[in-house]
Amino acid sequence: MVKFLNLAKLYEEVREDVLPEILEVLDKTQYVLGDKVAAFEKDFAEYCQTEQCVGVSNGTAALHVAMQSCGIGPGDEVITTPMSFMATTSSILMCGATPVYVDIDPKTWNLDPAGIEKAITPKTKAILPVHLYGQMANMESICRIAQKHNLLVIEDAAQAHGATWKGRKAGSWGDMACFSFYPGKNLGAFGEAGGIVSCNELLAARARSLRDWGQEGKYNHVLPGGNARMEGIQGAVLGVKLKHLERWTARRRDIAAMYLNELSGVSRIVLPTVAPEANPVWHIFAVQTEDRLTLQEELKDKGIDASIHYPQAIHELGCYKDLPFAQVSMPVSEHHARHELSLPMCPMLTDEEVMIVVRRLKA
Ligand SMILES: *Cc1c(COP(=O)(O)O)cnc(C)c1O
């Protein structure tokens, strides 16, 4: 059996180091925020080449709190990609703002900067690109357009811990950037967690307040916030796991290189294109193929776990498709959603397992 993701093996690698850290949190009864969260915030901000990190309860909360910090609300438009997990759009709606979609680049599958300027209106407040599958969007072009039109940039970096564009890390390009530490992400907690990074002191201070009922000192509610605090245990786990991230990412890159190399001649499989400026962290290894459900079934019969990210573009989702903002045609995203298949990708995969997948696909 070649697993898509092996959480048990990842746990084994850190168990010995994590357990005493968790015990320390419990012994100090620092169940919410506390020393371990603060220490992780400092380390993760540095890892992302940013000044500040605000630990929150999950990646969706990170997006919501970041947009709130930027003052995004009813009447505002946020330009984003329809090819992502639903959370990218749902967080815009949670702020009362309206998502405006720009289609993806047919090669990198990330938000295509060429379509952004046409989508800008007097209501546009921000651009929310996603670094899909761990490859950064073209942040140079996106930030240039944002600057020209006086727009904010918020990165959805939930799949891109440590990815770079021209050597600069995901999270360090936008006004704010949002990470998920869901267990299956490249850096995963033992439960729910997320983080916001920023080099803007004012925005980071707002996020810090907004995650904790908008307080500045106990019961002094200066912002209309909610509860999006990170748990102490998750801070302790993430602090330990961050030390392993570069090694795990290197392994993902080795696996991706094997797939790219071994599958390059296989007709009927479209491999991902890496922009020359990008160094992806391969959260997901996505390919396109005509009859992906048959292929997925055939792989499953041989014990190989392939997955789909995502079966529909966001504007096509049942809960959104009848709403005004979803009345758009996004042909590149829609085509991708019909043909995408995600091959097993996890730092714990052995070379032999990767070759099992490769041989099955070749056959
Ligand atoms: C996982 C993910 C999120 C949401 O993060 P949660 O921690 O699950 O709330 C948002 N955006 C993208 C692109 C994601 O992959």
Report residue 190 as tokens. 């033992």
- 91 close to ligand 1 (CB < 6 Angstrom): no
Residue entry with tokens 């009447």: 75
State the pLDDT at residue 127: 98
Report the pLDDT averaged over residues 295-316: 97
How wide is the angle at C-alpha 179 spanned by C-alphas 15 and 121, nearest 5°?
Answer: 170
Rounded to the nearest integer, the mean pLDDT of the chain is 97
- 68 close to ligand 1 (CB < 6 Angstrom): no
pTM > 0.95: yes or no? yes
CA-closest residue to ligand 1 atom 10: 87
- 130 close to ligand 1 (CB < 6 Angstrom): yes
State the pLDDT at residue 223: 96
For residues 136 and 86, give the distance between their C-alpha atoms in angstroms, rounded to a whole number: 18
Report the pLDDT averaged over residues 142-160: 98
State the pLDDT at residue 32: 98
Give the model confidence (pLDDT) of 203-257 as tens digits: 999 999 999 999 999 999 999 999 999 999 999 999 999 999 999 999 999 999 9
State the pLDDT at residue 251: 98
- 213 close to ligand 1 (CB < 6 Angstrom): no
State the pLDDT at residue 156: 98
Report the pLDDT averaged over residues 290-319: 97
Give the model confidence (pLDDT) of 63-96 as tens digits: 999 999 999 999 999 999 999 999 999 999 999 9
Q: Are 278 and 293 a contacting pair, CB within 8 Å?
A: no
- 234 close to ligand 1 (CB < 6 Angstrom): no
Distances (CA, A) of 127 to 166, 207, 313: 20, 18, 18
For residues 222 and 216, give the distance between their C-alpha atoms in angstroms, rounded to a whole number: 7
pLDDT band at 294 (very low <50, low <70, confident <90, very high): very high
Report the pLDDT averaged over residues 139-147: 98
- Residues written for the chain: 363
What's the one-letter identity of residue 338?
R
Strand pairing report for 124-128 and 152-156: parallel
State the pLDDT at residue 240: 98
State the pLDDT at residue 214: 97
For residues 308 and 315, give the distance between their C-alpha atoms in angstroms, rounded to a whole number: 17
State the pLDDT at residue 77: 98
Report the pLDDT averaged over residues 158-164: 98
Q: What burial letters (b/e) apply to 150-188, b meaning 16+ CB within 10 Å? A: ebbbbbbbbbbbbbbbeebbbbbbbbbbbbbbbbebbbb
- 89 close to ligand 1 (CB < 6 Angstrom): no
The 3-state DSSP class for residue 86 equals coil
Q: Which residues have CB under 8 Å from 160's CB, separation 6+?
A: 131, 134, 135, 136, 170, 186, 280, 281, 283
Give the model confidence (pLDDT) of 208-219 as tens digits: 999 999 999 999
For residues 52 and 205, give the distance between their C-alpha atoms in angstroms, rounded to a whole number: 9
Strand pairing report for 152-156 and 164-165: unpaired
- Name the residue of 80, 90, 93, 180 to mutate for ligand 1: max ligand atoms within 8 A of Cβ: 180
CA-closest residue to ligand 1 atom 5: 59
State the pLDDT at residue 59: 98
**Atom number of ligand 1 nearest to Cα 193:** 7
- Write out the DSSP string of 224-260: ---B-BPBHHHHHHHHHHHHHHHHHHHHHHHHHHHHH
For residues 290 and 29, give the distance between their C-alpha atoms in angstroms, rounded to a whole number: 54
